[in-house]
Amino acid sequence: MRAAALWALCGARREVGAFVLPMLGDAEPGVRLLAMRAVRDSAGDLGADRVRDALRPMLSDPDPVVRVMAIYHLATHGEWTAGVLDDLIRHGEARVRIAAVGVLSSLGHHLSGERMRPLLAAARPLLGDADPAVRAAAVGAFGSLGTPWSRAMIAAAATDPDFRVRRKATYHALHFADTATPAPLLSVLLEDDDIAIRYETLSLLASRRSPLLSARLAHARLAEADPSIRRMALAALVKAGSPPPEPEWPPLLTDPDPELRRRAAYLARDVHRAPGGPLHDSLHDLLRDPVRDVRGNSARSLEETCDDACLPALETAHENEDDRVNRYVLSKIISRLRSRP
């Protein structure tokens, strides 16, 4: 109850330090953690010196996680106590090691490289910690710092036996990667047993139109059992300029998964498709799809490619279409064809 009241107070007013200073001595660690954050954010009300004076005793708090956060809050106000954090990184409790390594990336914004270097050296063994949650936290910390020498460690973590560690490694390897990212790492991620890792790899590569994309590896993902993977593999291939050949599109456009059909119909507009070809014919078939957005995307993908031979089928689709926007798109195509000399 006290923690909830403090949380509500902090949400209503930013500088509440004068009200919560007594709560730094509360019996509940969760309350003390919230109180420290409130005091840290009240420098304008209390003054920086008073904030530091209030937070220093928390470095000897009986709860080690409170001590970890005291180090961080003091660092944001220019006071550094490296020895305390160095000990907590090696603490026997996993939750303390997680908290300690978790503040490293935040401290990197406040401390110079000289001050961070010994801490990073102390935290590096946590990448091989026996607890997978600690390893995942360490990967997240080193990945967020983005140091050049951490790339090899992030790549190595992509083969960790625990999926939580691999997911963290995947996130940082892809979000902070540049064109120097090794192709073997992409191969490892796209072949991972964890579906979330394969999905994120494909989705990020697709959204970034990455030149790193291996068309062969992404193409193999079109045969995945999960439709979300097939959907992202298709998007990655099209946006990388290596779409599947036309004969491979009909199975995607007729897939039982409506979201895959919708996405495939949308992406087809970026692919060269001649009238009468298998891709063009499949788009025509989708004008009868039960899903409105699938029909709409199909009509838009046909907009610039239909010829006179398509006119009867388009007129039939226009008569049967009950969506106003889709009817408008079809009417534009019909008008274009009818206005030809």
Q: Per-residue confidence at 214, pLDDT binned at 50, 70, 90?
A: low
Distance CA 59, CA 314 (A): 74
Q: Which of 35-39, 50-54, 277-281 has the highest mean pLDDT?
A: 277-281
Q: 20 with 35: CB under 8 angstroms?
A: yes
Instruction: Say which residue the tokens 């009867």 belong to.
Output: 312
Phi, psi of 53 (to 5 degrees): -60, -35
Does pTM surpass 0.85?
A: no
Q: What is the pLDDT of residue 14?
A: 55
Q: Per-residue confidence at 178, pLDDT binned at 50, 70, 90?
A: low
The answer on pLDDT for 253 being more than 80 is yes
| pLDDT tens by residue, 56-97 | 888 888 888 888 888 877 777 666 665 677 777 888 888 888
Q: Per-residue confidence at 211, pLDDT binned at 50, 70, 90?
A: low
| pLDDT tens by residue, 271-281 | 877 788 899 99
What is the percentage of the chain residues whose pLDDT exceeds 90? 33
Those residues whose C-beta lies under 8 Å from the C-beta of residue 97, and which sit 6 or more positions away, are 88, 89, 90, 91, 126, 129, 131, 134, 137
Q: For the domain 257-340, what is the CATH code?
A: 1.25.10
Q: Is the dihedral of CA 43, 44, 45, 48 positive or negative?
A: positive
Q: 16 with 22: CB under 8 angstroms?
A: no
Distance CA 18, CA 22 (A): 8
Average pLDDT value over all residues in the chain: 83
Q: 295 with 289: CB under 8 angstroms?
A: yes
